Copies of this chain bind each other. A is one copy, B any other.
Amino acid sequence: MKREILKALKDQKEGFVSGQEMSERLGVTRAAVWKHIKQLQEEGYEIEAISRKGYRLLKDPDHLDGDALELDRSSSVFGKKVYYFESVDSTNTMAKKLAAEGAVEGTVVIAEEQKAGKGRLGRSWESAKGAGIWLSIILRPAIKPLDAAKITQIAAAAVGTAIQKNTGYAIQIKWPNDILMDKKKICGILTEMSAELERINFIVVGIGVNVSQKEGDFPNELKHAASIESCTGKTVSRRSLVIEILKEFEELYFDFLHTGSIEKSIHICRKYSVTLGSKVKVIDKEKEIIAEAVDITEDGELLIRDESGGLKKIISGEVSVRGLYGYTPS
């Protein structure tokens, strides 16, 4: 009910909605309407109440809860269902659990805080309360496990685009899955899947965006990390950024499903790449290769040329870019 009242207020935009009208439309008493209005006010919504005119939404706080996101999103499938948590171990772990129980494609898990946020390869991910966007999306593409890496490229392209559009500030993409500003990491993506050998059950894409941390907020070993606000010097609405991410991601994802190609995403990943043209250090089967990053293929692999001139495709893995993140020029 509260959600319906919030929707009515939002739909009205600048004007007033009368209590009578809401009470009739929703089939509840005017007292019930008033009770929900009060509850919304307690949650931070500024609502003006003028007799004979009704109610008007003056300020919409930057909430990330299901009602707030589901009502405002401009994507159609992504975020249609949102699970919101004050605190969670890891949004990916929660999303995998929900997916195993049957949650539909596009379901979003979002949390104010992760107690045990996960990075790639079992690493941890700093996810301080309210300081970032910690969300996971459930996907169910009819593709083979081998093609799961494509989803990471789509996600990187979408999230990079969304952040750049939303902030008006340049981003870079470090293949396969980091988004940078001023060459510092502001976002990581963790793709996980549940699969049979030839069929994916579901994919969970975890997206962590550092939004409002100050420079000193990151631990010492994360010297290469930054936040959008520390880079841009501007305040960011997490909700509008989430909405932008869902929109861009959905667009590129469905383009892939319809065309079978991630061409559009790769075009974006190439355009903003800090990896291409650079010297890279690749760790493959515990062996270190120094090479030049030449291209990102249509399948999302990194094409490298090693020191003997040999070309090699890398599906996914540990790639350090010279001059970035402690891989200093030698």
> A residues engaging B (CB < 8 A)?
93, 96-97, 100, 120-122, 145-146, 148-149, 152, 176, 190-199, 201, 315-317
Contact = CB atoms under 8 A, between A and B. Distances in A.
A197 B146 contact: no
Given A96-B100, A145-B145, A146-B146, A192 B190 contact: no
A192 B198 contact: no
Contacts of A316: 197-198
Contacts of A145: 145-146, 148, 193, 195
Contacts of A315: 146, 197-198
Contact of A191 (B122, B148, B192, B197): B197
Given A96-B100, A100-B97, A146-B146, A121 B198 contact: yes
Nearest to A121: B199
B195 A192 contact: yes
A69 to B, nearest CB: 26
A193 B201 CA distance: 10
B96 A149 contact: no
Contacts of A190: 196
A118 to B, nearest CB: 9
Nearest to A148: B197
Q: How many copies does the complex hold?
A: 2
Contacts of A201: 192
B122 A199 contact: yes
B122 A197 contact: no
A188 to B, nearest CB: 12
A152 B197 contact: yes
Q: Which of A145, A146, A197 has the most CB of B within 10 A?
A: A197
Given A121-B198, A145-B193, 12 more contacts: A93-B100, A120-B196, A120-B199, A122-B199, A145-B146, A146-B315, A190-B196, A192-B196, A193-B194, A193-B195, A193-B196, A198-B317
A315 B195 CA distance: 14
A198 to B, nearest CB: 5
Nearest to A193: B195
A199 B120 CA distance: 9
A192 B199 CA distance: 9
A195 B203 CA distance: 10
Contacts of A193: 145, 193-196
A149 B145 CA distance: 11
B194 A192 contact: yes
A308 B203 CA distance: 38
A157 to B, nearest CB: 16
Contacts of A122: 199
A201 B204 CA distance: 13
Contacts of A97: 100
19 contacts: A93-B100, A96-B100, A100-B100, A121-B196, A121-B198, A122-B199, A145-B146, A145-B148, A145-B193, A149-B197, A176-B197, A190-B196, A191-B196, A192-B195, A193-B193, A193-B194, A193-B195, A197-B315, A198-B316
Contact of A194 (B149, B152, B194, B317): B194
